[in-house]
Amino acid sequence: MSLSSTGAVPSRRAPRQRSRPIRACWRHTLASESPPNLLELDRIEAGYGHAALVLRGLTITVPRSTIVCLVGPNGAGKSTVLKVASGMLHPRGGTVRLDGHDVTRHGPQQRLRAGLAHVLQGHSVFPEMTVGENVRLGAYTVPDRATVATRVQFVQHLFPVVSEQWDVLAGLLSGGQQKQVEFARSLMIDPKVVLLDEPSMGLDPKATATVFEQIERMRDTGTAVLLVEQNARRALQTADIGCVLDLGRVHMSGPAPELLDDPELSQLYLGGHVAG
Ligand X SMILES: Nc1ncnc2c1ncn2[C@@H]1O[C@H](COP(=O)(O)OP(=O)(O)OP(=O)(O)O)[C@@H](O)[C@H]1O
CA distances from 116 to 7, 58, 232 (A): 23, 20, 23
Nearer Cβ to ligand X (66/80) = 80
In the set 63, 77, 94, 257, which binds ligand X (CB under 6 A)?
77
> Is residue 242 a contact residue for ligand X (CB under 6 A)?
no
Q: Does residue 193 contact residue 65 with C-beta atoms inside 8 Å?
A: no
Q: Does residue 271 contact residue 28 with C-beta atoms inside 8 Å?
A: no
Q: Does residue 174 contact residue 208 with C-beta atoms inside 8 Å?
A: no
Q: Does residue 203 contact residue 230 with C-beta atoms inside 8 Å?
A: no
Question: Based on the number of CB atoms within 10 Å of its own CB, is 52 exposed (0-12), middle (13-18) or buried (19 or more)?
Answer: exposed
What is the helix (H) or strand (E) element at residue 206, kind and residue range? helix 205-220
Q: How far is the CB of 50 from ligand X (least distance, A)?
A: 10
> Is residue 54 a contact residue for ligand X (CB under 6 A)?
yes
In the set 21, 35, 36, 75, which binds ligand X (CB under 6 A)?
75
CA 9 to chain CA centroid, nearest Å: 15
Nearer Cβ to ligand X (73/171) = 73
> Is residue 53 a contact residue for ligand X (CB under 6 A)?
no
> Is residue 136 a contact residue for ligand X (CB under 6 A)?
no
> Is residue 86 a contact residue for ligand X (CB under 6 A)?
no
Buried b (16+ CB within 10 A) or exposed e, 69-82: bbbbeeebbbbbbb
Contacts of 264 (CB under 8 A, 6+ apart): none
In the set 76, 85, 155, 256, which binds ligand X (CB under 6 A)?
76
> Is residue 74 a contact residue for ligand X (CB under 6 A)?
yes
Crossing angle of helices 205-220/145-158, nearest 10°?
130
> Is residue 79 a contact residue for ligand X (CB under 6 A)?
yes
Q: How far is the CB of 75 from ligand X (least distance, A)?
A: 4
Q: How far is the CB of 77 from ligand X (least distance, A)?
A: 4
Candidate segments 71-79, 112-120, 127-135, 188-196, binder of ligand X by CB under 6 A: 71-79
Q: How far is the CB of 251 from ligand X (least distance, A)?
A: 12
Candidate segments 9-17, 70-78, 109-117, 135-143, binder of ligand X by CB under 6 A: 70-78
Build a one-symbol-per-residue string for 11-50: x at contacts with ligand X by CB under 6 A, - elsewhere. -------------------------------------x--
In the set 61, 65, 80, 214, which binds ligand X (CB under 6 A)?
80
Buried b (16+ CB within 10 A) or exposed e, 233-255: bbbbebbbbbbbbbebbbbbbbb
Q: Does residue 67 contact residue 84 with C-beta atoms inside 8 Å?
A: no
In the set 78, 106, 118, 151, which binds ligand X (CB under 6 A)?
78
Residue ranges binding ligand X (CB under 6 A): 48, 54, 72, 74-80
